[in-house]
Structure formats: structure tokens, C-alpha cells
Structure 1
Amino acid sequence: MAIVDPAKTWEPLEQRLAVTTNERHRQVLSIVIEHMKAEAEPDLDGLMRTLVAEPDYHFWNAGQDVGPKGWAGVHDYYAAFVASKSNILEFALDRLLVDDDCVVTEGYLKQIYPGAYAAQIGIPVDDPDADYLITFRQLLLWPVDANGLIVGEDSYHSGPVEVRKLSFDELPSEYVELVHPAV
């Protein structure tokens, strides 16, 4: 069994989409699915195409909003995300809510991080050359505008609930190709 399965991130949304008859709800679900798949690629241009002209992200950390703001801020955030090679992730959803203006997802976000990047963003790791599975409990609100584009993300998370060093044999092939291509 794979440590993470990126497809599990959007499969619950695709399952909901398959049984949803409300056209607005279908539009809202579809843009979030498109965004999730662009993150998994990673496809910076694809990510940015899912967003309004001036997106507004709210990442709540210790009572402070540290999310990127505006086109340039969000573009820089996603460019760093793509460069970090931490896009191999699975958001195992426990809850999915959809209305005319928002998708709400809640569950455990499991993400593989290069150790150096994990340390850079404040995750406690003991070996910057190792690879880590980092798990967070996360709630995400995905507001969507009248034109069907994502306005931003409102993210609430627990901080790491698990930080586990991975052996090379545990790493998914797509991660190895991305982070350790010479091996």
C-alpha cells in the first residue's frame, strides 16, 4: 500500500460530482477538483487558472493569518510550493460540504517533504537530507465566485500530528522521480 495516494484527494469530490444534479454545485466542485489535480502535477499555470484575478488566502497559524494575498503573492506561494517538491500529498477527507459558494473539506493531510524544506518551514526534523511523511488535521474552505473561480483558501490546521522519517523504499516512485531523479 502506498504511503500517500494523491488521487484520494479528489476522488471524494469526483464521487460527489457524479451524483450532483445542481449545476452550480457541479461548477463549484469541478473547479476545486481541477485545482487539486494541478497541485498534484504540479502545474503552476494550471493552479493559477483556477483562481480569481486577486485571490485572498487565509492560513490561520497561532491566531495569525499568514496566507498569501493578491495575484503576485499567491503566484509566489505556488511557485515556492512547486519548487519545494512537496506536492506528493493525500488529503484523506472525513467531511465534504458543498453549497453555491463554497466547498468545505476536512480530514488528514498527509504530505511527503524533503527534510531541508520541512526544516525551513519550521517542522521539527532531525535530518535535512531525509524525506518525511508529515500529517496534519486540516479544515479547508474553498470559496468560489459567481464566475466559478476560486477566491482563495481558508485553512485551519492542527500543526503536525505525525512527523515520520521515511526509508527510501517507502517513497512513491513519483516522489523519487521528482526529488531523487539520479537514484
Structure 2
Amino acid sequence: MSRFDVTKTNIAVAQLIEQTVNPRHLYLLQAYNRHRNLEVAGRWEEIFAPDMTVEEPVYNFNTFGRTIRLEGADAIKKVYSEWAGTGECIFYVEDERIAVGDNLICTDFVLYQQTPGAALAAEGIDVDPQATYLMKNRQYMNWPYDDQGRLVGEDVWEVDPSTREYIRLDPSEVLTCAQSAPLLEHLIKPLPARPF
């Protein structure tokens, strides 16, 4: 049995929610918490609800030594769909530090992202393409929000590629969206009424 538990992925977010009294900041944290749980559950379509995400979000990723920019909902939906199909939407977080402002959430954490060996091998990584791995690295993210509290995009950086690790999973440890969705169901709360 794996030491990783998808129900603990947002533990730092939940702790900050408990301590937050500013209504706008609380709302953003609740939206962030919902987004991440929906993603790991493979329920990515719900992320694009009009009260959660702007019509044309922009995502920037800096990993594997290159920068990828996804512009518009269609481009981002395609990636979410692919990740749900391959299980790459399943991730675990440790050592998360998070801060919230009026229009921004910043977070720094150790990420363990479930990744097919074939995808890693395609990047030139020496792994078994038939296996599944947890790709471990430290990441830093900025999530800007508009004045209505909707996600504008994601900026994701791999802090130090030299520390990246690949942890081979036993087939019994590989989690599918069909398995993660019911585990996260009780954590996926509707957004409250916007307090601003």
C-alpha cells in the first residue's frame, strides 16, 4: 500500500482556510481547494464553470527545461482530458507553503505526480516505459484571479530540475480517476456565494 493519500493533498490549503477571516481571501482559497480536488478526481470539466474560471485562461508551465504556454480554455481542456486519461491528474503534495492575496494565490510544495513511464521516456528519461512513476519535484505556482474571484490562469515552475526524482510504483499503487473520484467526493464542496 502506498504512503500517499489523495485525501491529504490539500491539507495545507484546508489549514489556511481554517485560519482565514478575510472574506475575499477565504473565497479564493475555497475555489483553489475545489479546483485541485476536482482535478485529482478527474472531474476537470467542472473547473471551467463560469464562476470558477475566466473564459480564456492562460497557463504557463516551466518544466523539463522548457516553457509551455497554453492559451484559451480549449487548449487547457485538452491537457486536462489527456491527464485524466493517463492518470497524470493524480498528484500528492508535501511540505506546502501557501499565501493568498486579493487577486493571487502563491504556493510552494513538493509534488508527486503520477506519470506513465512512456511519457517520461519520451522526454529522454531512462525509465521503464511500461511502468508508472511518481515524478517528484519542488514546484512554485502563482494562480491569479480576477475581481470576481475567477481563476485567470496558472504559472507553474519547477524550482530545481536537478533534484527531480522518479519513484516507480507497484501496479497496485497506481490510482485511476475512477478510484480517486469517490475518495475525494466528500472534499469537493460547492463554492459559497461570492462575498464581494
Match in the other structure for 2:169: 166
Q: State the Cα RMSD in Å.
A: 2.2
- Among candidates 72, 80, 89, match of residue 91 of structure 2: 89
Corresponding residue of 2:154? 153
Among candidates 100, 103, 110, match of residue 108 of structure 1: 110
* Cα distance change on mapping 1:168 and 1:65 into 2, 3 Å: closer
Q: Which stretches in structure 2 are left out of the alignment for 5+ residues?
A: 180-196
Helix, strand or coil for the counterpart of 2:113?
strand
Deviates more, 1:62-71 or 1:93-102: 62-71
Please give the alpha-carbon distance, in whole angstroms, between the structure 1 residues aligned to 2:3 and 2:177.
13
Deviation at 1:63? 7.0
Task: Give the structure-2-normalised TM-score.
Answer: 0.80
Residue 62 of structure 1 deviates from its aligned partner by 6.9
Distance, in Å, in 1 between the alignment partners of 2:95 and 2:33 is 13
CA shift in 2, pair 1:21/1:176, >3 Å: closer
Q: Partner of 2:36: helix, strand, or coil?
A: helix
Answer yes or no: is the 8 Å Cα contact 1:5–1:89 preserved in 2. Answer: no
Give the structure 2 partner of residue 26 of structure 1: 26
Compare relative contact order (CA 8 Å, sep 6+) and give the higher one, 1 or 2: 2
Identical-pair percentage? 27
CA distance in 2, matches of 1:91, 1:123: 25
Structure 1 segments (4+ residues) deviating >6 Å: none
Q: What is the TM-score with the length of structure 1 in the denominator?
A: 0.85
Distance (whole Å) between structure 1 residues aligned to residue 18 and residue 178 of structure 2: 33
Stretches of structure 1 lacking an aligned partner (at least 5 in a row): 179-183
CA contact (8 A) 1:9 1:93 kept: no
| Contact 1:60 1:156 (C-alpha < 8 Å) held by counterparts | yes
